[in-house]
Amino acid sequence: MEKLKKFQRMSQEKGITLVALVITIIILIILATVAINFAFGNNGLIQRAEDARDYYANDTSYTDESITNVESYLDEIINGVGSGNGGSGEETENPREVEGVTIPDGFYYVGGSKAEGIVISDEEADLGKGTSHEVAQTLVGNQFVWIPVEDDGLFERYDGYRNGSLQTYVSGGNATEPYANGYENEEAEYNAMRASVLENNGFYVGRYEAGTTAARSSSSGITDPVVIKQGVNVYNYIGWSNSNDMTNETGGAVELSKNFDTVNGYTSVTSTLIYGIQWDAIMNFIDLAYATGSCEEDSFVRDSSGKGWYSQSAPTTTGSNADYAVKNIYDLGGNVIEWTMEEYSTNGRVSRGRWLRRFWLGSSSFCSLHQQSVRQQRSHWLPLVAIFVGLKVDRKNKCS
């Protein structure tokens, strides 16, 4: 009996020990699960350690960037470098497009907007410098300004103003373009120009009157190199061509204009003397009321008084005054008048702009047409845009 009781006690003790072991194992499993989840779960110890590492790296990067920005800002203040009208001090990447406007290969974005005139240069040193008059005095390349033509219906010729009054040269049939009796390829070149402008919604025009570093005289000829830069002599004393009836494309403004792209090594654009229709596009860009003949009296395209050089003694250098610029284009009014491709009354060519003329009488205006006057500009044609540059007036060819 005593042995039976002893066996029962031993069985109970072993049973209790087994239960305790099972419970212990279950608790250890639960603790291990909790520990694993704490270490490796979505918000576990390891994840928190990785997050802390990333936060530290980002904070370090932000600190380095802030230090760099401060250094650039101090460099801009000290050295006067940067973008816009002075720049940021950082290396500028040349965009291939600005507001949908193509920057041709071999040219560099200087500054400006489509609304106020996008400026490009053929020198990389001018990249991102800005468009202020002060900056313009430091630029080294030939410069051009984009003229948007986004409404095909407005790309037409208009009568324009002379001495503030609306004219009837175009509507009266006295001025035509292209000239039916012009040189052999004149009509084909006009059609190519028009197609390019409409396809690309605009063209480029020389930012300044065409100029040269040489002093010009009546015996200068056409051998002086042409530049489109600030602060040079205007390219005056130049005829439309070397023929009296202006049906020959050689020996004058037309030839110099067509050769401008080749002389400067441009491969992405083509150049030609500016057309009257393109001059009118510039006027529309400046004042949309030009197309309807309803410009206000103080509109630049109707009265350029005080906005151009009108001295009777001699022409001034290109881009000489900040007040002479509109839409980032200088000297549209004043200084010397500009040859165009338009024909006048079968025996002459039309000029645009306001020129230097001895004993000039009347108010200052510049978007009128003048027979046998002078401006030479070149348009550069390429698959996407056209560029125009200008040559200047021969004072011997005066308007009638």
- What's the CA gap between 207 and 213, in Å, rounded? 17
Of 363 and 161, the one with more pLDDT? 161
Which one-letter amino acid corresponds to residue 51?
D
Check pLDDT > 90 for residue 140.
Answer: yes
Q: What is the pLDDT of residue 177?
A: 94
pTM: 0.70
- What's the CA gap between 98 and 183, in Å, rounded? 37
Average pLDDT on 219-242 reads 89
Helices (H), 247-319: 253-263, 276-286
- What's the CA gap between 234 and 231, in Å, rounded? 9
The two structure tokens encoding residue 318: 């290109």
- What's the CA gap between 182 and 251, in Å, rounded? 15
- Which H or E run includes 145? strand 143-148
- What's the CA gap between 342 and 373, in Å, rounded? 11
Q: Of 11-15, 272-276, 325-329, which gets the smallest average pLDDT?
A: 11-15
Give strand pairing partners of 211. Answer: 227, 234
Helices (H), the chain: 2-40, 45-79, 133-136, 186-200, 253-263, 276-286
- Which H or E run includes 338? strand 338-344
Check pLDDT > 70 for residue 250.
Answer: yes
Of 69 and 20, the one with more pLDDT? 20
DSSP assigned state of 178 = S
* Span 261-290, pLDDT tens digits: 999 999 888 888 889 999 999 999 999 999
Strand residues in 191-272 grouped as ranges (E)? 202-206, 211-212, 233-234
Residue whose C-alpha is closest to residue 136's, from 234, 208, 214 = 208
Confidence class for position 230, pLDDT limits 50, 70, 90: very high
Check pLDDT > 70 for residue 213.
Answer: yes
Report the half-sphere exposure of 112 (CA within 13 A, side-chain side): 29
Of 384 and 297, the one with more pLDDT? 297
Q: What is the pLDDT of residue 174?
A: 87
Check pLDDT > 60 for residue 381.
Answer: no
Q: Hunting for tokens 């205007």 — which residue is that?
A: 234
